[in-house]
Chains A and B, each alone.
Chain A
Amino acid sequence: MDKLILGRFVPGDTWIHHMDPRSKILISFYFIAIIFLANNVASYALMIAFTLGVIFLSGVDQKFFFRGVRPLFFLILITVLFQLFLTRGGHVYWQFGPFALSQYGIISSIYVFLRFMMIILMSTLLTLTTAPLMIADGIEALLNPLKKLHLPIDQLALMISLALRFVPTLMDETMAIMNAQRARGVDFGDGGLMKRVKAMVPVLIPLFVNTFSRAGDLAIAMESRGYNGETERTRYRVLQWHAVDTIAIIVMVVLTAALIFARN
């Protein structure tokens, strides 16, 4: 758990860090969408080059970054193995019952693998370079048009920012409770699956109890400071569109054009 970095934020001072969260979120989703347009070596190479280029631009420590996505890497590998052995077509190299190793299977599993990897790298990069509250603000701003349909966007945004805000707190608290139970003789990495699941009970119960009581305290604290979900709120941080954001959008347009050119 302490090794996975998806969802973590590391402050920095690069172009990527200074981008508006709205454009960052939009571009990330857009990129994930156009990954599915890639369908040959050239187009995949283009997308990979772009991904690596952005990671490089963000200035995050590369060893840290790639080590942090490694747990997910193995997860994807398992998914891809199904693709590999269950897809038929082209030359068949090996066969056993329903399983076969075929030319198409190999190619499509490599593509699926690359697609997943790029999606994960990009999402990790988004959270790694954007403060959680900025992500929440960005989501809120992007969803704002839906208010016309009378959807409770303000409340939704508040829920998202509270959730994001408490992720690190919950992580710390989980560690603290685990340590307290370790000190009372619990061995978390020990025994079979059932034993391990049972070992989590003394962690999960206090975690839930503390979380509920904290949620109650938080609600009281917010109300006593005049929070009211009904009224329009003014904001302390105002999102600002910069030149980098416009440039980033242009880069995406160029990337799309190049991608359409490269695919067949």
Chain B
Amino acid sequence: MAITFKNVDYFYDLGTPIATAGLKNISLTIPDNSYTAIIGHTGSGKSTLLQHLNALLKPSHGEVQIDSRVITAETNNKNLKSLRKKVGIVFQFAEHQLFEETVGKDIAFGPMNFGATQAEALEIAREMLTTVGLDEKYFDVSPFDLSGGQMRRVAIAGVLALKPDILVLDEPTAGLDPKSRQAMMDLFLELHEKRGLSIILVTHQMDDVADFAEHVFILEQGQLIKSGTPQEIFNDYQFMLDHGLGLPKATQFALKMRQQGFKVPTLPLKEAELVDLITKQLTETEQ
């Protein structure tokens, strides 16, 4: 399922004096089976863009095409359910959406809305609970008795339970401890590689962009200001710094090396690439 934006504008409170632009003239394509990162400052329009991916918001002008469905300003609010099953969105602060008596029932909520029987839904819920790395013993616990990080995992499980084709994640690891962060990121990669899900990730972590994304879109004040592979984006490190976006740690380190007079032919993005670079330098100096 590919997603295409064609000249999409979105205004909040359209037709009122307090109308504000959320997106301005966005055109982009997110290919099938891809791992895409969306980055940009707070307020740059990332969450606004995400809500167009399953027609929670409809473009004020222009169109969004999801698979074969075309969404425009005139699209009716009915019959969007099939779309919402295919595109699962984990919102920012997803832990704020939990409401059921038990963790299991909360995860089962989505599948039941899409027509699964209670038994089927609970079956899926049990599977998803372990998928997100929570112990089975939490199944019958109230979600409000969990820690913030555990609640986040339950919320992610609740969206995974829809078995979407596209998984959209709005800062899913913000506020998690390093180990849970790593576990979550590994989970998303596994879903992408083993189950063929498209992943669309909003993040402020340039290391995650470097480590996982195949394609990057950069937003600023509602506009798409740059797109490309992580290598292309970070090669233009001056642009990234000028726009206050930061660089992966490995790239920062390599740039410092370059300043000190080391030879850095291609900028490394990942830790492993940096290690390669340094090993090469060391072996060269020894010779």
Interface string of A165-182 (1 = CB under 8 A from B): 000000001001101111
Chain B residue numbers with a CB within 8 Å of A187 are 81
**For residue B114, which residues in chain A have a CB less than 8 angstroms away from its CB?**
185
Q: Is the CB of B110 within 8 A of A185?
A: yes
Q: Is A39 an interface residue (CB 8 A)?
A: no
Interface of chain B residues 67 through 123 with chain A (CB within 8 A): 77-78, 81, 84-85, 88-89, 91, 93-94, 96-99, 109-110, 113-114
Do B144 and A185 have beta carbons less than 8 Å apart? no
User: Which of B16, B81, B84, B159 has the most C-beta atoms of chain A within 10 angstroms of its own C-beta?
Assistant: B16
In angstroms, how far is the closest chain B Cβ from the Cβ of A226?
Answer: 28
* Closest Cβ neighbor of A3 among chain B residues: B16
Q: A186 to chain B: which residues have CB within 8 Å?
A: 113
A104 to chain B, nearest CB (A): 40
- Distance to closest chain B CB from A72 (angstroms): 17
Please state if B113 and A206 are interface contacts (CB–CB under 8 Å): no
A79 at the interface (CB under 8 A from B): no
Interface bracket on B: 20 to 34
Residues of chain B within 8 A (CB-CB) of A64 are 15-17
Within 8 A of A (CB), among B7-42: 13, 15-18
| Interchain CB contact under 8 A, A10 and B18 | yes
A202 at the interface (CB under 8 A from B): yes
Contact B81 A185 (CB under 8 A): yes
Asked if A206 and B99 sit within 8 Å, CB to CB, the answer is yes
Query: What per-residue 1/0 map shows which CB atoms of B167-203 lie under 8 Å from chain A?
Result: 0000000000000000000000000000000000000
Q: Provide the bound-state CA to CA distance between A176 and B94, in Å.
A: 10
Enumerate 12 A-B pairs (CB-CB under 8 Å) in ascending A order. Answer: A10-B18, A61-B17, A173-B96, A179-B51, A180-B97, A183-B56, A183-B88, A186-B113, A189-B77, A206-B96, A206-B97, A210-B96
Which A residues contact B (CB, under 8 angstroms)? 2, 10, 60-61, 63-64, 67-68, 173, 176-177, 179-187, 189-190, 201-203, 205-206, 209-210
